Amino acid sequence: MATIDITKLRKEYGDENEQIVAVEDLDLTIEDGEFLVFVGPSGCGKTTTLRCIAGLEDATDGSIEFNGTDVTERRARERNVAMVFQNYALYPHMSVRGNLGFPLRLSTKQSSDEIDEKVDSVARLLGIEDLLADKPKELSGGQQQRVALGRAIIRDPEVFLMDEPLSNLDAKLRSKMRTELQELQQELDVTTAYVTHDQVEAMAMGDRIAILDKGRLQQVGTANEVYRSPANEFVAGFIGSPSINLFTAEVDGDTLLGPGEFVYTLSDRSPVEDTNTVRVGVRPEDMQLASNGSMPSVVTVVEHMGNENFLYAQIGDIDLTARVESEVQPSEGTEVDFDFEEADLYLFDVETGKSIK
């Protein structure tokens, strides 16, 4: 069990000719037993952060502590962490039993009976008892992933670090394994840092989610917090599927104007008091079809999802998305109007992107 304190972490790659700052000024505490998910677009520094926690990369600056002990200078094998990767990294010539027992044979003085017993109990936990004699190539992707997890669990590490462990699985299996992995993590109660580029996976799995962009932490919070109270426009745009509608509006007293014929009167104008222009965000599910609404738009596409429809529409030169009931299916080119509650409106500073409401 471990609390992980990351302070002012910085990681640079390259030399004086070309320097890449992969992680910058990262302050974050991962609580004991917590499942924390790092999420962000490609190249935002997720894997680098995880590898610094693991001890597979040296931090350029800053520190990492496990339970108050500084481990920044410790190598990976001195940190008692277990890593699970996207490509499983199983030994092809070894059976499942051999793969599972390998970390114990390598690092402990346990007898082969003791190791066999531990392998059996981990295999039972993961439901792979019947596969112990098989070689990795005889297994499905999901089974291979279970073996890779088993190999991580077997050493009773203080910390699990997982880098996109489910991304090689098909959508259905991935969603099943998500649940299994969460249940397993809760059962074992081991502090876990998990990397994914998939915000849906992050929202579904994390006790908290740390959103990174360009090497910098943008926000950390529960799924509900980052969804309903995004710290800035980047977080609002990254979290949520389909994505939030975002556009620029002019401020005229208590009224927001444009694009197209967009007009919205605020009952509380305090967030926009000091500005002439503002970035506006409305989530697709908060857009309601209305007569005499604030967003007269033209339907471009209707996507049928079964239990609901996604309406794509245009207002001025901005594309909008609305989630509507499946009975609502206007044809392309139809004029529609949308409205939304003021409580569902997001406002961001034009310059900094920071939330102002």
C-beta closer to ligand ATP: residue 14 or 127:
14
SS3 193: strand
Q: How far apart are CA 299 and CA 183, in angstroms?
A: 43
Q: Does 111 bind ligand ATP (CB under 6 A)?
A: no
Adjacent-strand bridge partners of 221? 209
Report the Cα 352 to chain-centroid distance in Å: 23
Q: Does 218 bind ligand ATP (CB under 6 A)?
A: no
Q: Does 10 bind ligand ATP (CB under 6 A)?
A: no
From the list 46-54, 127-135, 224-232, 310-318, the region that binds ligand ATP by CB under 6 A is 46-54
Kindly identify the residues of this chain, within the stretch 194-213, that bind ligand ATP according to CB under 6 A. Answer: 197
C-beta closer to ligand ATP: residue 72 or 275:
72
C-beta closer to ligand ATP: residue 46 or 279:
46
Which residue is listed with tokens 């710290």?
A: 231
Q: How far apart are CA 300 and CA 318, in angstroms?
A: 12
Residue in 16, 17, 18, 42 binding ligand ATP, rule: CB under 6 A: 42
Q: Does 151 bind ligand ATP (CB under 6 A)?
A: no
From the list 13-21, 86-94, 106-114, 143-151, the region that binds ligand ATP by CB under 6 A is 13-21
Q: Does 47 bind ligand ATP (CB under 6 A)?
A: yes
Q: Does 22 bind ligand ATP (CB under 6 A)?
A: yes
Tokens representing 4?
């992980």
Residue in 4, 34, 48, 238 binding ligand ATP, rule: CB under 6 A: 48
What lies within 8 Å, CB to CB, of 56 at 6+ separation is 76, 83
Residue in 2, 6, 39, 46 binding ligand ATP, rule: CB under 6 A: 46
Query: What minimum distance in Å lies between the beta carbon of 164 and ligand ATP?
Result: 7
Could you tell me where the DSSP H helices lie in 162-293? 171-188, 199-205, 223-228, 233-238
CB atoms within 10 A of CB 186: 12
Q: How far apart are CA 313 and CA 269, in angstroms?
A: 28
C-beta closer to ligand ATP: residue 30 or 100:
30
Nearest 5°: the CA angle 75, 10, 80 is 25
C-beta closer to ligand ATP: residue 48 or 99:
48
Strands 277-282, 191-196: pairing is unpaired
Query: What minimum distance in Å lies between the beta carbon of 197 and ligand ATP?
Result: 5
**Residues binding ligand ATP: number (CB under 6 A):** 13
CB atoms within 10 A of CB 276: 9
End-to-end Cα separation, the chain, in angstroms:
38
Residue in 8, 13, 108, 257 binding ligand ATP, rule: CB under 6 A: 13
C-beta closer to ligand ATP: residue 234 or 348:
234
Tokens representing 184?
């397993």
Q: How far apart are CA 29 and CA 321, in angstroms?
A: 36
From the list 40-48, 73-81, 127-135, 348-356, the region that binds ligand ATP by CB under 6 A is 40-48
Adjacent-strand bridge partners of 212? 217
By CB under 6 A, name the binding residues for ligand ATP: 13-14, 20, 22, 40, 42-48, 197
